[in-house]
Structure 1
């Protein structure tokens, strides 16, 4: 495929016209709050949902083509254990295709790294510098364009927790209601909370809105504490099918931006009584809605803080208590466009060293715009990974090397992994790897054992994310003789699909989650006469006194607590292995991890024998004395 060619002037002139149109194509309406990590300071990337630690990242490269990008096809990826995908290749770095892929992925819970046409222009056609020069744009120009790109896909979140309080920073022009996940059957109850309305702008009014007996965003009671059209008002709106019936009650005191008010609304049958700071300010009789949950509402650029929310029923029994110390899991937050499936930007695949400086500048700008947007870069095999770390300061270090050759395996795989590990370990940067799941020029079609072997050797080196190359088989017209991937060109699932599903769901997802918080300490080979470069020869220590039997790779880890861990990976992808370990004087007991029930079984500290199928591995937790 040829890259999109646009002049510098034409590219920068595209402006927000494209982004504005596409931003409105995302999903709207209330959705359960996402479990994204707390944001770091500006300029420091969090890695977003792919690095939040909630699940082990398992990715798809070369997903279904556009006409096969259906909910059913995407559900097949999820069923096979994949957690995210790259949109490139068959997606042609096309905005409309990418938004369709994001929308479809959102329906099945996949995260997406977007290959965007304007990103390709930024990374392939210009340099980033304030010093001027041919084919150069300034950092400010790059930032403006990156903001447009991110706005095409980024989910709009009006609700967030800030300093232990809920901050609502806006809504749609018609108003947006977020409401509690519980409460559909609540009838008579008292809602109380603290709120601090914020000004809408220079000289603008301040307003805090709350909702009760909510049916949905278009049907609810909505009361507003504000100083719009008067120094202090309670504005009451009864929304039916989105149309409000409004009345205004002067409060007799000023509503001041930045001041905290304690509000209480009590529902008794058709009677609604509202108090502010302990004083009754209004009693209303209305029978439009008889039951429903509670929530909060803002519109446009209205903004307010909320805290210490409590709901009790008529008998005083607590129905809801919220201090926002645990996030937003008790709320259906209003959607404002964009895509919750958007995880980041596929910035570049396999750059050269001279390209790193520009990529580092772009990644830094992306983080400053939104630290939850991952600027993803993947690197060549045998690359200068230390240069990549120094010049791009990545959230993760990713590389590809495909070791399943027609003539055997590529023993340089170990040295490549060692170089990646060595570059990333000093800063505890997560490492990701692509594994081979397709046949092509001089590379054999992997077996299930080959998938296990690539995965487990990678895990032994401390890998924190596995990506499959490829999922859908590339069309023969692309060249390189691709054949027999997980899914054929015509959409037929191959035996590799079932193999992939087993590896991912029965092994990689549960074991990977155990390994995510661990730190790699050593990667060793035992019972191997000729140890390849990239592996250290095992030497006895006070933790492991001996390793006997067949050849095995030992990935050794420390945990966030006092435990230590050992991943025993079969060195062979062809033959089963039997390995016996004797534990050293520093070990009190060990436990084997069972991925089936995600638990550890105590095995004492006596004779320890492990049977490993071809390419398979076993995770051991070590309790020190």
Structure 2
């Protein structure tokens, strides 16, 4: 048998795309234009510099960086060592090569602000940058830090925009913001493309997983305060409610916004987030002073024109002195305003950054009237001294655009997470977010803002009104529990499941079918409220939701609930079979009364194991091509489930219909991740409209490779019981490991024409079922740990009394395998 290399092998590590450090430098310099010197120096922080020069009447100098196939996201940071003239540096971002070199829009990145409107809100959401380019005025040497995240990019264009200037850059890098959890599972086989696909899939789940998207963060010793879409724009010091007369000092840098004028804002004598004095200085060199009363800004006076011209990127020192009703503002030691107001006499300090106002803060100090320090923060540590909008961790639909959690996408994402990582917190927190966004009648939002703290009210269906997405909650939670065994969390979330099912059942009519009403009709057919009726896809989802809820209820000891859910699932099942299955056409029609075949509907039916075998055979003959990778992955899961293994692996390799996982992984032009819809090459859209995401966990398919090709699947929660049943297809060998709450499962197998060999290491607390593929020969012997154990004439040795052994047309099954290590072989013999 081939010796497995294991999780920590160098071979395995070759495939890992996860950055090894939060500081991500360019993989390569792709090209340059104009006068650029020593360009490779920009790829490391070794003190050497790359120089861009733009002579008068000359060509704009450009460096095009390739961040490599992982195409990470994060905070852009670069360091300038010298400059001449008045340089303005432009940095643009794209995930696909053709978009960054587009002659009309490339210097502005791959999409323009406001071009992604399908959700009805601006995307991407803060703290991501709504622009795909940045502008920096270079006045001094030093570090330049972007205050907003660029979500995902392989290509970074650095261009000097101003004639008769030059700039020397020591390095450019990103500060990674995505999950970097170490791998606890792995997959390898003799097909290199499948190995790369497994790691691309699991990495996609990582790049779309965020420890948080807090309003405030620290980067390189600078505080970056921002407003999130659904948060207050103010953050305050934890202490200071009784501070009266004091001075508030801090350094600030204002970052240029390509659209509205940018600014820095601060708060003094704040009773809370909605009451206190607010000041703001903008890049138009104006001072604005307000008192905030119950969240409403009231001007204290007309704006004050400052005696100096402010420039983005320059560090300034601000001091606010409070003495009774007197408020004095000093900029770099110069008094620029005195205002008198007695509305607020005491309170905290903080910062106020509305949307589109970008600034960096450091060296905060608060002193009493005698000069004693009340509070200080140089931001070399954490932000425990401050109160601001925070979020839990979560898995987003993608890194580049929305950066929001979507309930339906979680089922695909989670299945990939569970096979590679033992950090289940991202999934757990995201499920909890959706539980919070359940309405009083039981509907669960399709997408939500992680920072939102307001429960939805009756009839408030969110930004994407979809019963389909609502119906995903129970399957997502059931999968989470099946893989993690987290009974406490399943019990905590169970009331949400129950309430959600009551809501869905309200729209199941006398024919047993769920009726999709207009108000919540967005989903598989489009992003508009339009499709009503009794569609197959939503009915399969609602059926599966009741089935998964019955599973959860049984596990929680709620047998009466389980019986109720099973009975209701049976009603829906009958309705589907009576009205959506066409006996003549031999497939599920897309809607009651229709004759139309829908790939999506029938793929979902197969994936959840709904049709009988004869129905499945007929359906699979029609499931050829689709334009959506997530639904093709459902079809592949169904093909494996119904043992059409060769068709399943063939579809992974060549799915057709513009979907192509493997092709994308061989293309140097884009990220080696799983993309939105997995359409490859990406569709040609007008310049500035390329907001499609190149990191969507819902098209990731590591779970199909580990769960079927390798063959490891849980059968009881937390892998308390599991099966190792390889769907070998045309592979010669495969190996892998799967993290479980009980420890690591290690499984490998290899085969020749006459022999199948396997090695299984099963941790304490688990019971395994091992499926051994039968050889072509009718005569064979199964060996366990080198000893004959079972013969094809169904004779078993005396040593197998603790095991259950049975077989079907494809496998011999060894059941009730206790924890331990096993070497298994199945050998053809000439004479039994």
> What TM-score bracket applies, with the shorter chain setting the length?
0.3 to 0.5
Q: Which has the higher contact order (CA 8 A, sep 6+)?
A: 1
Greater fraction strand: 1
